[in-house]
């Protein structure tokens, strides 16, 4: 039996210590090739200007820039510490001319309608207080013909999958928040029911080995 969802918000995973621990974990995932960059590219997000919501330390979006050409990135995160870390990585990777990281909330996207060719986010969906409103906002700032990509954990992970993830975390802080994130994540059925309340025409929800993915192209 699947346990009831236990919401988690960004207020429970904030602060410099958490940001630095998460940064180290994401850096290790990047070195091991575990970021979702390949999946993002396969979804059709290969060109233009992208918005990454909940960009954290920035590795997913920056790796996307490194694997594409003539592209630009705007990262948005609610944590000042994460934004500072992402800006530092942007400079380290020589991408300051193609990327900027801003402080802001997914609940009030500070962008015009139809502003981005791609909108993506990873591991932040379970934190959203108003997920239907945020999905509507992501769709609003996406250009017609643009790609939406939203991935997250899922609550009905098998015990073996949970153990696999747990073993790849070398920080007690991150381990605790990982478990809380899984408890706060959605199942495919729950996410499909949520999306039925908003007008994201053509999007699909797919189970992945460790989570869920919402992807689709905004009708032209």
Percent of the chain whose pLDDT exceeds 90: 80
Alpha-carbon distances of 118 from 6, 96, 159, rounded to whole Å? 30, 19, 34
Which of 5-19, 99-113, 177-191 has the weakest average pLDDT?
5-19
Question: Is domain 10-217 given the CATH code 3.40.50.150 in the classification?
Answer: yes
For 202-211, how does the pLDDT look when each residue is reduced to its tens digit (9 = 90+)?
A: 899 999 989 9
For 12-58, how does the pLDDT look when each residue is reduced to its tens digit (9 = 90+)?
A: 566 888 899 899 989 988 998 889 999 999 999 999 999 999 999 99
Burial class from Cβ neighbours inside 10 Å (0-12, 13-18, 19+) for residue 136 reads middle
How many CB atoms sit inside 10 A of residue 38's CB?
Answer: 11
Residue 173 has a pLDDT of: 80
pTM: predicted TM-score of the whole model, two decimal places: 0.95
- Taking residues 161-189, report their average pLDDT: 88
Would you place residue 193 in the very low, low, confident or very high pLDDT band (cuts 50, 70, 90)?
very high
Q: d(Cα 153, Cα 77) in Å, to the nearest integer? A: 19
- Taking residues 121-138, report their average pLDDT: 96
Angle between helices 159-167 and 172-184 (to 10 degrees): 150
Residue 44 has a pLDDT of: 94
Is the model's pLDDT at 11 over the cut of 60?
A: no
For 57-105, how does the pLDDT look when each residue is reduced to its tens digit (9 = 90+)?
A: 999 999 999 999 999 999 999 999 999 999 999 999 999 999 999 999 9
Would you place residue 9 in the very low, low, confident or very high pLDDT band (cuts 50, 70, 90)?
low
Q: d(Cα 57, Cα 27) in Å, to the nearest integer? A: 9
Strands (E) in the chain, as ranges, are 49-53, 72-77, 99-103, 116-122, 142-153, 204-208, 211-217
- Taking residues 146-151, report their average pLDDT: 98
The b-or-e profile of 192-220 (16+ CB within 10 A means b, else e) is: eebbeebebeebebeeeebbbbbbbbbee
Which long-range CB contacts under 8 A does 2-7 form with residues at least 24 apart?
A: 2/155, 2/156, 2/187, 3/155, 3/183, 5/155, 5/183, 5/184, 5/185, 5/186, 5/190, 6/180, 6/183, 6/184, 7/126, 7/184
Kindly state the DSSP code that residue 154 receives in the 8-state scheme.
Answer: B
Higher-pLDDT residue of 176 and 136 is 136
């Amino acid at each position: 039996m699947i346990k009831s969802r236990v919401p988690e918000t960004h207020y429970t995973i904030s602060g410099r210590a958490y940001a630095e621990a998460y940064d180290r974990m994401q850096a290790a995932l990047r070195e091991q090739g575990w970021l979702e960059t390949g999946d993002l590219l396969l979804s059709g997000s290969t060109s233009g200007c992208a918005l990454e919501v909940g960009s954290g330390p920035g590795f997913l979006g920056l790796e996307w820039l490194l694997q594409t050409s003539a592209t630009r990135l705007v990262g948005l995160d609610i944590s000042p510490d994460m934004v500072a870390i992402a800006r530092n990585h942007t400079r380290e990777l020589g991408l300051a001319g193609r990327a900027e990281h801003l402080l802001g909330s997914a609940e009030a996207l500070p962008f015009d309608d139809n502003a981005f060719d791609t909108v993506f986010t990873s591991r932040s969906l379970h934190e959203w207080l108003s997920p239907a409103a945020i999905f509507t906002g992501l769709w609003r700032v996406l250009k017609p013909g643009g790609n939406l990509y939203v991935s997250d954990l899922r609550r009905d992970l098998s015990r073996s999958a949970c153990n696999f993830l747990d073993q790849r975390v070398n920080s007690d802080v991150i381990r605790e928040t990982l478990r809380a994130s899984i408890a706060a994540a959605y199942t495919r059925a729950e996410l499909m029911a949520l999306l039925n309340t908003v007008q994201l025409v053509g999007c699909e929800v797919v189970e992945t080995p460790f989570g869920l993915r919402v992807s689709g192209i905004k009708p032209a």
